[in-house]
Structure 1
Amino acid sequence: MEQRLKKVYLDSIIPKLKNKFVYDNINQLPSIEKVVVNRGLGKFNQSIKSFDYFLNELSIITGQKGVITYSRKAIANFKLRKKSPIGISVTLRGNKMYAFLDRLINLALPRVRDFRGLNKKSFDGFGNFNLGLNEQLMFPEIDYDKINSVCGMDISIIIDSKNNEESLFLLGELGIPFSSNDIYNK
């Protein structure tokens, strides 16, 4: 089954991109390659039980099982040993990626209290967009009564484009709410 957001991209956004920007080839059009969801566990890295809980919770949110990431070297100040588990990562592509973005845009972000839009300066210069969430309670799949602790996550949207302007136009047309006023420029 084709996702709704992918259908919007193919039917309405591609012609708008062709009108706004000049492309020699259809393969030059910007498209979303993948979405990476990361969760570093910090103080919870000592407990294996908490890893299982957070791994299960992230798989409920994304619809795909995550991979445990391990430390590369030992850091004594953080009580971190080499090859000890420190986080969870999920890479989404295809229909699962579009389904997650659809839930993020239409269900999760509107549930954030005092939400004024995402910062337009969160692009990395290559067209990729990054955002951080403080808690997992905004996703409707998460039951509030079963939460052990509030833990945030980082979401990276990897876009195949030449610059930030094309990516901003693409994400804006997909429905990602960017801040209209410059509250971040103060």
Structure 2
Amino acid sequence: NTHPMRKPRILKVCVNFAVGTSGSQLERARTLCERLTNQVPAEGRAKESVRGFGIRKHEPIAVFTTLRGKLAKDFLKKAFWAVEDKVSHRNFDTHGNLSLGIKEHLSLPDIKYDPQIGVHGFDTTIVLE
């Protein structure tokens, strides 16, 4: 019988689509992020220019959103289903947060392929308290 405040709880779930380029690919990732999370995503911008990749400073290159409460729990059920409930010790950081990389969004349940969007991978970080 442990004290309820000693049990880990989900504070938030961060979903990140790091596309690496702006333009149509980023817009498709934004649309997909909205569909998966039922929220409007924010834009992530490049911190510095990378000439080799053709990225300029402050150029939008990613979209992300933060889920809390019931939305977070519902999304986590789908995310764990996609990774087949397999989590390695390497997925945890020093603060006890859990990160999952999902290679294709099509591995989530009830998701159909849309040729307008294509196939995207994304990262999910579960912040525990």
Name the TM-score class by shorter chain: 0.7 to 0.9
**In the alignment, residue 120 of structure 1 is paired with which amino acid?**
H
Aligned residues: 129
Change in Cα spacing, 1:54 to 1:134, as seen in structure 2 (3 Å) is same
Pairwise mapping of residues 133-152 of structure 1 onto structure 2 (< 5 A)? 133-146=102-115, 148-152=117-121
Q: Answer 1 or 2: which has greater strand percent.
A: 2
Higher relative contact order (CA 8 A, sep 6+): 2
SS of the residue corresponding to residue 35 of structure 2 reads helix
Say if 2:52 is the partner of 1:74: no
TM-score by length of 1: 0.62
Q: Which has the larger radius of gyration?
A: 1
TM-score, normalising length: structure 2: 0.86
What is aligned with 2:11? 33
Measure, in 1, the Cα distance between the counterparts of 2:113 and 2:8: 38
Q: Secondary structure at the match of 1:57?
A: helix
Deviation at residue 147 of structure 1 after TM alignment = 5.3
- 1:15-94 equivalence runs, <5 A: 18=2, 23=3, 26-42=4-20, 45-47=21-23, 49-94=24-69
Q: Which runs of 5+ in 1 are unaligned?
A: 1-14, 111-115, 161-186
Contact 2:80 2:86 in 1 (8 A): no
Matched-pair identity in % = 29
Among 72, 76, 83, the alignment partner of 1:109 is 83
